[in-house]
Amino acid sequence: MRGPTFLSYTAVSMHKILLLVACLALLAGAALAQTNVPTSANPPDAALLIGTWDGRTPDGMGATISFHDDSSMTFSPGVMIDFTAKPQGDELVATVASPGAPSQSVRIRAEGDRLTYTASNAPAEHWARLGKAVAGQPPYAGKWAIDQSAPPPLDKKKKSKKADYTISEMSEARNSMRMVITPEGKARLRVPMRTDFGAYNVQGNKLLMQYGGKVWVATFRFDDGTLYLLRRGEAEEVAFERAQ
C-alpha cells in the first residue's frame, strides 16, 4: 500500500506535528542536558537547516533529511550511489557499484525530457526530467525521476515460487527514486527505502528530531555549506550536502 505524501500527511496530521513540536520543546531542556557533546558558544543559524540534505556513509548507505519552516521534517534512509559516466556515441556509459552487490555496466540515453537507464542483466528503466532543460547543456544533464507513466519493467530472468521483483518493481522505492546528472557526467542515484514523518526543535547547536517513534538528540554545525550532524552516543559526524 502506498504511503501518504507529505502534502496529504500535513493536511491530515498538522495538529500532530504541532503537538510533537510542543512536546519536543518541553523535553528539550532535560534531553539536551544529558548529551555528551559540548554546547557551542556561537550556535549556528538554525534557519540554514531549512531544505533537503543528503548524507552518506562510506559503505553507500545514507539518508535524505528535509527540514521545513513549520518545524516538521521527513527522514528517508536508503542507498545513495555516485558514479561518473563517459560519453560513447550518443550515450553515456558507466560502471556502477551498489552496496552489497556486484558492479554493473550502465548505459544512459536521453532524448528531450525522457531518459533511458539500462543496467547489465536488467530491464531498461524510463525516467522523466524534473524541471526544465538548461540551454547549452547535454541532454542528459539535470534532475530525473522515474517516469510513472511507464509500466514497471519485469525482469523475466527472475523466477521463484514467491513474487521476486527487481527494486524497480517495489512501488514505494521505485516512485521515490531520483537521479541527478551534471553536464560533466557525474551522477548521484538516490533510492529511499521509506519515509518517516516527524518534527524537530533547535536550541543553540543542539537539534532534537522526532521520527520513527523515537527522539534523536544531536549537535549540528555548518562548514562551507555542508551540514554536520553528531548524534548522541556516536563517535563520528555525518556530513550532509544540500540535495540538488
Among candidates 144, 196, 199, 143, which has minimal Cα distance to 172?
196
> Domain coordinates of the chain in residue numbers?
6-76+198-242, 86-184
Instruction: Rounding to the nearest 10 degrees, give the CA dihedral for residues 13, 27, 204, 18.
Output: 20
Among candidates 109, 237, 230, 241, which has minimal Cα distance to 188?
241
Letter for the amino acid at 214?
A: K
Percent of the chain with pLDDT over 70: 68
Phi, psi of 86 (to 5 degrees): -120, 140
pLDDT tens, position by position, 148-158:
776 665 544 44
- Which grid cell is 151? 509500466
Helix (H, G, I), strand (E, B) or coil at 15: helix
Check: CB of residue 49 under 8 Å from CB of residue 204. Answer: no
Please compute the mean of the pLDDT values over residues 3-24 and round it to a whole number.
40
Alpha-helix runs per DSSP H in the chain: 6-33, 171-176
Rounded Cα gap, residues 23 and 156, in angstroms: 51
Element (H, E) at 96: strand 91-96
Give the pLDDT of residue 217: 93
pLDDT tens, position by position, 54-107:
987 656 578 899 999 999 999 988 888 888 999 887 789 998 876 666 678 899
Check: CB of residue 106 under 8 Å from CB of residue 83. Answer: yes
13 versus 183: which is more confidently predicted? 183
Q: Cell 500532530 sits at which residue?
A: 16
DSSP per position, 46-83: GGGG-EEEEEE-TTSEEEEEEE-TTSEEEEEEEEEEEE
Check: CB of residue 85 under 8 Å from CB of residue 92. Answer: yes
